[in-house]
């Protein structure tokens, strides 16, 4: 195979976003509505308002670099200390028998059979 030499000075065209054929173009009025309402409303609410799909609303918001407002964390209310549980009553000591001493294994003497 032959290597193709490219001219480094030659500029390439910037890539365009992939858009479906017959896709409805966004008007400037729709874009301004989206920018104003994006932080307060959900994507499904915006889609109904703009009469577009949820995916198209999310894609346009991503293209415009819109972000939802981060929820502020409220300090959780302090709980009262729960009283400690009482310890379980101690069991009575059960007397156990002493184990019998282990017997040593003794080998039985076997007589060899004579052949």
Q: How high is the pLDDT of residue 58?
A: 94
Helix ranges restricted to H, 25-107 = 28-37, 43-50, 54-63
Q: How high is the pLDDT of residue 98?
A: 73
Q: Does some domain include residue 53?
A: yes
The tally of domains found in the chain comes to 1
Which single residue is written with the structure tokens 């198209």?
56
Distance CA 112, CA 45 (A): 99
Q: How high is the pLDDT of residue 2?
A: 64
In this structure, are residues 54 and 43 in contact, taking their beta carbons and an 8 Å threshold? yes
Q: Does some domain include residue 98?
A: no
DSSP 52: S
- pLDDT, tens digit, 9 for 90 and up, residues 12-49: 666 666 667 778 899 999 999 999 999 989 999 999 99
Q: How high is the pLDDT of residue 11?
A: 65
- pLDDT, tens digit, 9 for 90 and up, residues 48-93: 999 999 999 999 999 999 988 777 777 777 777 777 777 777 777 7
Domain that holds residue 41: 37-69
Which single residue is written with the structure tokens 């009025």?
29
Q: Does some domain include residue 54?
A: yes
Q: Does some domain include residue 94?
A: no
Distance CA 37, CA 84 (A): 51
Q: How high is the pLDDT of residue 59?
A: 93
- pLDDT, tens digit, 9 for 90 and up, residues 84-109: 777 777 777 777 777 777 776 666 66
Q: Does some domain include residue 10?
A: no
Distance CA 109, CA 115 (A): 19
pTM, whole model, 2 decimals? 0.46
Q: Does some domain include residue 2?
A: no
Name which of 91, 35, 28, 30 is nearest 66 in CA terms.
Answer: 35
Q: Does some domain include residue 52?
A: yes
Per-residue tokens: 38: 């994006």
């Amino acid at each position: 195979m032959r290597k193709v030499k490219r001219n480094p000075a030659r500029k390439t065209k910037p890539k365009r976003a992939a858009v479906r054929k017959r896709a409805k173009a966004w008007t400037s009025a729709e874009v301004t509505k989206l920018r104003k309402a994006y932080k307060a409303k959900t994507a499904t609410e915006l889609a109904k308002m703009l009469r577009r799909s949820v995916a198209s609303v999310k894609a346009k918001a991503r293209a415009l670099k819109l972000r939802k407002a981060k929820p502020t964390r409220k300090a959780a209310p302090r709980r009262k200390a729960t009283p400690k549980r009482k310890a379980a009553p101690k069991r009575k000591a059960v007397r156990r028998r002493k184990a019998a001493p282990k017997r040593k294994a003794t080998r039985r003497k076997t007589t060899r059979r004579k052949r």
